Structure 1
Amino acid sequence: MIEVRYGSGPETISRLSTEELRATFLIEQLFAVDEMRLVYTHVDRMIIGGCRPVRKTVEFGEGAPIGTPYLLSYREMGIANLGGPGRIEVDGKSFDLASRDILYVGRGAQRLKLSSADAANPARFYVNSVPSQVDYPHRLITRDESKLLELGSDRNSNKRSLRMYIHPEVAPSALLLMGITDLAHGSAWNTMPPHLHERRMEAYVYFDLAPEDRVIHLMGRPEETRHLVVADGDAVLSPAWSIHMGAGTGPYAFVWGMTGENQEYTDVDPVPVATLR
């Protein structure tokens, strides 16, 4: 089964309670043990998923819940490993993923098998999948093969390293973009300054947080912001009409995934912080 989220428009967000806001945009405790948890959002039809194979291999790929022969009959997928060493088998072909490697799985894949090399240090697989009408081959993108961008500054407490993995400059895809951002020691703010990109939605999963720490994820229209309090392993849906920025109470990292009308990473509309309400 796949959980379905229908999303919400900017005209309704002001009326949502804290619990309603979280139920609409926050996916808590995504990384289930020994099973794949999948969430289908009607926001650009992205599928988000997570699992931690500990005692057994996790298999998935059934398409019946979305009305297709296989889950990836007309979709592409990125799978990031955020834990210990793991293996992904796609229709009999195996890929070994170290921490912070990402596997691109092309359209038409039928069966996927996910496993950990060590049950005491299990892999933590995070999934983004979007519709595709183009065939690209499966490809493992290691951390060293990603494109590194150094952003932010110490003065603004937003110094960070952004790595592009599934991106036209690194590994091609139909519409999916995917990468990982790490905050520098002493920095707290991510994705600063805030911005909108009307032509693309985005999803995040926050990880490497201590159990006692949280990220305060700001969202909503610039003139009417809201916030989500996010724990380690929680994912956030960010529609195109919403800003997205956040600050953590301790060290953290996040995976960002995007889809929409284009793959232009710089196609954004910045929002001055002084105008936020």
Structure 2
Amino acid sequence: MRTIYGAAPGDIPSFDTARLRAEFLVEGLFRNGELNFVYTHIDRMILGGGCPTEKPLSFGDGSELGTEYFLSAREAGIANLGGSGRVTIDGETFALDNRDVLYVGRGGKKITLESDDASRPALFYINSVPAGADIPNRLVKRQESKPLDLGEERRANKRTLRMYIHPEVTPSCLLLMGITDLAPGNIWNTMPPHLHERRMEAYLYFDMADEDRVVHLMGRPAETRHLMVGNCDAVLSPAWSIHMGAGTGPYAFVWGMTGENQAYNDFQPVPLATLK
């Protein structure tokens, strides 16, 4: 597990590209046969990526967190972005197909990740945040998620947002998690841009061609910056930062949030004409 400390908005004007990427871009989560974690001091979210091939991958020890177990004081969401696989939590096994999401409640001791076919491995993307309640584990299949159709074709931002870990689908303590797909020929996500001062967000972009990139815009509305993001890279978005992006080709993204509440509409839109 490596650590990212983030930055305050007043620090951003002095950052060059390398420093901006170091503090807000998470690369290399998915490597065959490995399990990788990043701990961020932005609301203490942990991002993880597991790609089991021939052998299962397991985690659960909490020594790096100062707790007995990884989930002693945390909850997690696990999204499968690859081939079919299985997640076992203390002996209880859940089968995850592509774009299924498993909610893992506080208190789990050992979590094991496996792929059904090593030649088409599962890609398990993990978001974990502090939790103050014990809520049962629950698998949310793609067809059980709640879809919201957003945007307009003429503005190139037509997309379908699917809620998975959300009060309207399955309960959690503070974690929200879902997946957004853009309609064919559309490039913009999260339009118009907005701020939510009471929550941070992490984006994981996936289903991209190797040569494509998403231009992810961040920063204060009056002083924006951008990150060039590749397939299976994640971006950390603090509460003080806008977030929106445009892709050079097809893509999708997983969004995960935590903060003071779970009110999805608790945000402040930022008019495009005010961006600088």
Higher mean alpha-carbon deviation, 24-33 vs 251-260, is at: 24-33
Deviation digits for residues 6-58 of structure 1 (CA, Å, limit 9, x no counterpart): 11010000101100000000011211221210101011000001021112100
1:219-234 counterparts in 2 under 5 A? 219-234=218-233
Counterpart of 1:13 in structure 2 is 12
Counterpart of 1:208 in structure 2 is 207
1:63-212 counterparts in 2 under 5 A? 63-212=62-211
Residue 65 of structure 1 aligns to which amino acid in structure 2? E
Residue 72 of structure 1 aligns to which amino acid in structure 2? L
Counterpart of 1:42 in structure 2 is 41
Matched, 1:273 2:272: yes
Q: CA deviation at 1:182?
A: 0.2
Counterpart of 2:237 in structure 1 is 238
Distance in 1 separating the partners of 2:14 and 2:83: 41
Distance in 2 separating the partners of 1:67 and 1:111: 16
Distance in 1 separating the partners of 2:125 and 2:252: 13
Q: CA deviation at 1:115?
A: 0.5
Residue 271 of structure 1 aligns to which amino acid in structure 2? V
Q: TM-score, normalised by structure 1?
A: 0.99
**Aligned residue pair count:** 276
Q: TM-score, normalised by structure 2?
A: 0.99
1:241-256 counterparts in 2 under 5 A? 241-256=240-255
Q: CA deviation at 1:216?
A: 0.3
Q: Post-superposition, which runs of at least 4 consecutive aligned residues in structure 1 deviate over 3 A?
A: none
Counterpart of 2:52 in structure 1 is 53
Is there any run of 5+ residues in structure 1 with no aligned partner, and where? none
Residue 201 of structure 2 aligns to which amino acid in structure 1? E
Distance in 1 separating the partners of 2:159 and 2:203: 16
SS in 1 for 2:172: coil
Counterpart of 2:260 in structure 1 is 261
Deviation digits for residues 120-171 of structure 1 (CA, Å, limit 9, x no counterpart): 1110000000000101000000000000000001011000000000000000
Distance in 2 separating the partners of 1:72 and 1:263: 20
SS in 2 for 1:32: coil
Is there any run of 5+ residues in structure 2 with no aligned partner, and where? none
Distance in 2 separating the partners of 1:118 and 1:244: 36
Distance in 1 separating the partners of 2:266 and 2:5: 25
Distance in 1 separating the partners of 2:253 and 2:29: 14
Distance in 1 separating the partners of 2:42 and 2:148: 28
Counterpart of 1:217 in structure 2 is 216
Distance in 1 separating the partners of 2:220 and 2:111: 38
Distance in 2 separating the partners of 1:54 and 1:207: 19
SS in 1 for 2:153: coil
Q: CA deviation at 1:202?
A: 0.2
Deviation digits for residues 189-210 of structure 1 (CA, Å, limit 9, x no counterpart): 0000000000000001000000
SS in 2 for 1:48: strand
Distance in 1 separating the partners of 2:29 and 2:168: 29
SS in 1 for 2:168: coil
Among all aligned residue pairs of Structure 1 and Structure 2, give the percentage whose two residues are the same amino acid: 65
Q: CA deviation at 1:3?
A: 0.6
Distance in 2 separating the partners of 1:238 and 1:36: 23
Residue 149 of structure 2 aligns to which amino acid in structure 1? E
Distance in 2 separating the partners of 1:239 and 1:148: 25
Distance in 1 separating the partners of 2:60 and 2:73: 12
